[in-house]
Chain A
Amino acid sequence: MTILEINGQSHTVDAPPDMPILWVLRDLVGLTGTKFGCGIAQCGACTIHLDGQAVRSCVLPISAVGDRKITTIEAIGSTPAGRKIQTAWLALDVVQCGYCQSGQIMSATSLIAANANPSNADIDAAMTGNVCRCGTYNRIRAAIKQAAKEA
């Protein structure tokens, strides 16, 4: 049994030590907002925060989490940066199919929490790991800038 702190709540899960947090969240805890995309940290759909840091949960075994706090898309709106990003995402109607957007929002939140005024290069660096097959990149860039302006 492993105790995890997820979105401010304590969860006890029965998982093998090599089980990626992605599947712990989705299959054992029932938080399905974090998405499976590639399984090898190449698309960013599974992005979560560990102590506010964006990480790819599909390659993060449960044994590596330790006592770090997990935040997922379901609770990111309760952080100031997450709320700003979500507000900008709505204002600019960024989403299309929406499947990758949990990961996009988690990466973008991590960016503006650490960098109140990201340049285009900062946005590229923070967001290049997140694939969007629908091609919402132009609006993602605009929404991050808008969210940063609200800071």
Chain B
Amino acid sequence: MSRELLEGQKLPASNGSNRRTFLKLGLSVGAAVSGGLMLGFSLPAASQGAAPSGRSAIGGDGDEAPKSGVFEPNAFIQIDSNGKVTLVIPKVEMGQGIYTSIPMLIAEELEVPLDSVTIAHAPPNEKLFTDPLLGTQMTGGSTSIRYAWEPMRRAGATARALLISAAAQQWRVDPASCHADRGEVVHAASARRIGYGKLVDAATKLPAPESVELKDPKDFKLIGTSAKRLDSPDKINGAAVYGLDVRVPNMVYAAIVQSPVFGGTLGSVDDTHARKIPGVRQIVKIGNGVAVVGDHTWAAKRGAAALDITWNEGNGASYSTDDVIKELASASNRDGAVARMDGDIRKGFNEAKSRVDAVYQQPFLAHATMEPVNCTVSVRADGCDIWVGTQVPTRAVDTAVKVTGLTAEKITVHNHLLGGGFGRRLEIDFITQALKVGKQVASPVKVVWTREEDIQQDMFRPYYYDTLSAGLDANGRPIAWQHRIVGSSVIARFAPPIFKNGLDPDAIEVAATLLYDLPNQVVDYVRQEPQAVPTAFWRGVGPLRSTFVVECFIDELANTAKIDPLAYRRDLLGKSPRALHVLDVAARASSWGSAMTKGSGRGISFMHAFGSFVCMVVDVTVNTEGEVAVNRVVCAVDCGMVVNPNTIEAQIQGGIIFGITAALYSEITIKDGRVEQSNFTDYRMLRIDQTPLIDVHIVKSSEAPGGIGEPGTAALPPALTNAVFAATGKRLRRLPIGSQLVSV
């Protein structure tokens, strides 16, 4: 998902301003921050959610009622009379470091020490927290810094200007003769200093400045430094609070058993044995499953295991992955919606001296966040509280309105740190389910899925089927390029308004926006949905799929043309200096072209997506048993101006490991309508002993910031399979690699 993709999207999301209970004082100031849309309405006070035993500096709800004596120039900054600075972060923290990098953007302009700020989760409020790149309040698509870069600095600068004005008035001096420094306004000429806390009342009364000046990047003190993560201290001592850690007074615990077959419904339930288990309190039926409610998770789990359930399996019970593939292969014969058409492809093929054809396939994938799916709810006649970690807080409100029949202002969402997102927590299926359970339970209830449910009842990255053909001229250059993408459209379900004319803008991303010089090309998309298998976004989204296909196929063309894969790419990317630069940096750092030992190979990939440019070089060894060891990954990345290089390195390292797991192991298969995998035993994760050396090179750039959460994952798999080709001569056109090389 990129800027181009979701820009302008208008979703029927909840209108957070419905939830206002108080009009904040000084709210007009907020309008300066983001184009006058912000109204600065406050939200109901945080409710009775009790914090767990650990004391956490992160994770207060940013929806407290306004207090007198608190300076709130906009939705993101609160300064109290003691000078305590609370930042309300419009994006959720799921590992990507946004609870550090957004505070850095604000603190740079606000002139406060980064380690002095307190972080609060933003409440659901589309008016205050919509990301215009996504059209909604959502965290995903590697947009956070692209969105935050200017408005968060502007928020800090606006607050700083007001505080300086307040001090200057008090001192009767020209504001231009004052400056801000470490939470104080300073008048150097008279050596006077005053803390922000003492300026709160005066600053609150001032009108918003017409405009504020942002720092010249050369004056940045914080942006561009490897500032330490603000969430680290809480995450090394058990204090960090994830959705699963919520403890609410009188809370009970629920385990869920859902239809093992896609599309199945509940038939009959014999709960005789379950009810006899000590600690089991209640058995609750929902549409496609049963919840067992108990005094603790163990009682609920034992109760769930003791249920005797008959399912109405329906038509799904004969469905398998083979059927999915047959449907996709058949659909690939249909003409698709055209995503890109350049030149004259027929002429290109006619003039070609050689032709290459290929079919690429990529499997269903489960997200497998380390924190299993969970949601805690309290559904009452007078209101509803939801404690959850979600990438889409306003959608949580929407579903609660539907399930409970309450109005939006009666719904309170308490967001939390996410124990991994990767797209799973863009979905609200489990929130809806918890609400359906909670409606039938008298006390607050925490619904926790087992790992088996988490994998088998996931919403999956779609199975994709891509067909490609290229015609090469006498020099091996592609003069015809045809690419057909076939698969489920997540966008059509998730954001229907932007699925237009049969085109899924996510599915075609990268494929239809290649920087390669392809004078005659057609890229089209055929939507083909699997029966009853729910599909969803997954880290890397469209670019992950497209980059694997395109970068492997480019390698095939280079091999056909008998040209070095790096040289082949350089030749086709000659018009993009940023692309060439990352290729050259990665090539140099990886000693591209140096000799490899027998059984080893080196592969390359390039990607331009999420506003960033990435080149990966992967070294592998394939042993005589056909097992692949990834020895080293070199990555050069140009993601524009850098907020925190430490975070970027971590995201690239982690993204690469996520991508290696996907390329080597990850595959959800379906047999008899059921997911065949169930836990980390058969849905394998890369572990520390298989982790390669990872060498990340961040290219200096003064361009606008690009996304960084997904590029590492999206660009990795083709470099790995291209390395396997270099090592073995075997071209893998299907993921995962799994046991495909065993017979080599």
By a beta-carbon cutoff of 8 Å, the part of chain A in contact with chain B is 15-16, 18-20, 23, 26-28, 30-40, 42-43, 45, 72-74, 76-77, 86, 89-90, 93-102, 105, 123-124, 127-128, 130-141
| Chain B residue nearest in CB terms to A101 | B235
Whole-angstrom distance between the alpha carbons of A26 and B295 in the complex?
A: 12
Is B509 located at the chain interface by the 8 A CB criterion?
no
Q: In the bound complex, do residue A90 and residue B232 qualify as a contact, i.e. CB atoms below 8 Å apart?
A: yes
Q: In the bound complex, do residue A97 and residue B228 qualify as a contact, i.e. CB atoms below 8 Å apart?
A: no
Is B287 located at the chain interface by the 8 A CB criterion?
no
Q: In the bound complex, do residue A135 and residue B655 qualify as a contact, i.e. CB atoms below 8 Å apart?
A: yes
Q: Contact partner of A135 among B232, B656, B679, CB < 8 A?
A: B656
Is B229 located at the chain interface by the 8 A CB criterion?
yes
Is B620 located at the chain interface by the 8 A CB criterion?
no
Which B residues, 653 to 697, have Cβ-Cβ distances below 8 Å to chain A? 653-658, 679-681, 685-689, 691, 693-694
Known: A98-B95, A99-B371, A131-B687. A138 touches B245 (CB 8 A): no
The 8 A-B residue pairs with the shortest CB-CB distance, nearest first, are A33-B238, A135-B657, A99-B419, A98-B235, A97-B95, A96-B95, A135-B654, A32-B245
Whole-angstrom distance between the alpha carbons of A33 and B237 in the complex?
A: 7
Number of CB contacts from chain A to chain B under 8 A: 187
Whole-angstrom distance between the alpha carbons of A89 and B237 in the complex?
A: 11
Q: In the bound complex, do residue B238 and residue A138 qualify as a contact, i.e. CB atoms below 8 Å apart?
A: no
Q: In the bound complex, do residue A134 and residue B654 qualify as a contact, i.e. CB atoms below 8 Å apart?
A: yes
Whole-angstrom distance between the alpha carbons of A131 and B97 in the complex?
A: 20
Known: A42-B679, A86-B236, A130-B688. A93 touches B229 (CB 8 A): yes
Known: A33-B54, A98-B95, A105-B236. A128 touches B687 (CB 8 A): yes
Is B728 located at the chain interface by the 8 A CB criterion?
no
Q: In the bound complex, do residue B370 and residue A31 qualify as a contact, i.e. CB atoms below 8 Å apart?
A: no
| Chain B residue nearest in CB terms to A27 | B296
In the complex, how many angstroms separate the beta carbon of A122 from the nearest chain B beta carbon?
11
Contact with A along B238-251 (1 / 0, CB 8 A): 11111011010000
Whole-angstrom distance between the alpha carbons of A38 and B658 in the complex?
A: 18
Is B125 located at the chain interface by the 8 A CB criterion?
no
In the complex, how many angstroms separate the beta carbon of B449 from the nearest chain A beta carbon?
10
A sample of 29 cross-chain residue pairs with beta-carbon separation below 8 angstroms, ordered by A number, consists of A15-B296, A15-B298, A27-B296, A27-B297, A37-B370, A37-B372, A38-B451, A38-B679, A39-B450, A39-B679, A40-B451, A45-B370, A73-B237, A86-B236, A93-B232, A93-B646, A95-B235, A95-B236, A97-B418, A99-B369, A99-B371, A133-B368, A133-B370, A133-B420, A134-B370, A135-B656, A136-B650, A137-B686, A138-B693
Chain B residues with Cβ below 8 Å from A137 are 657, 686-688, 691
The majority secondary structure among interface residues of chain A is: loop
Chain B residues with Cβ below 8 Å from A74 are 53-54, 237-239
Q: In the bound complex, do residue B279 and residue A133 qualify as a contact, i.e. CB atoms below 8 Å apart?
A: no
Contact with A along B628-647 (1 / 0, CB 8 A): 00000000000000000010
Q: In the bound complex, do residue A98 and residue B297 qualify as a contact, i.e. CB atoms below 8 Å apart?
A: no
Whole-angstrom distance between the alpha carbons of A102 and B688 in the complex?
A: 16
Known: A89-B236, A90-B228, A134-B420. A141 touches B688 (CB 8 A): yes
Known: A73-B237, A97-B419, A135-B686. A35 touches B232 (CB 8 A): no
Chain B residues with Cβ below 8 Å from A40 are 451, 679, 681
| Chain A residue nearest in CB terms to B419 | A99
Q: In the bound complex, do residue B296 and residue A32 qualify as a contact, i.e. CB atoms below 8 Å apart?
A: no
Q: In the bound complex, do residue B95 and residue A134 qualify as a contact, i.e. CB atoms below 8 Å apart?
A: yes
Chain A residues with Cβ below 8 Å from B729 are none
In the complex, how many angstroms separate the beta carbon of A84 from the nearest chain B beta carbon?
12
Q: Contact partner of B237 among A38, A86, A128, A141, CB < 8 A?
A: A86
Known: A97-B94, A132-B370, A136-B654. A42 touches B691 (CB 8 A): no
Known: A32-B245, A138-B653. A95 touches B450 (CB 8 A): no
Q: In the bound complex, do residue A23 and residue B229 qualify as a contact, i.e. CB atoms below 8 Å apart?
A: no
In the complex, how many angstroms separate the beta carbon of A146 from the nearest chain B beta carbon?
14
In the complex, how many angstroms separate the beta carbon of A119 from the nearest chain B beta carbon?
12
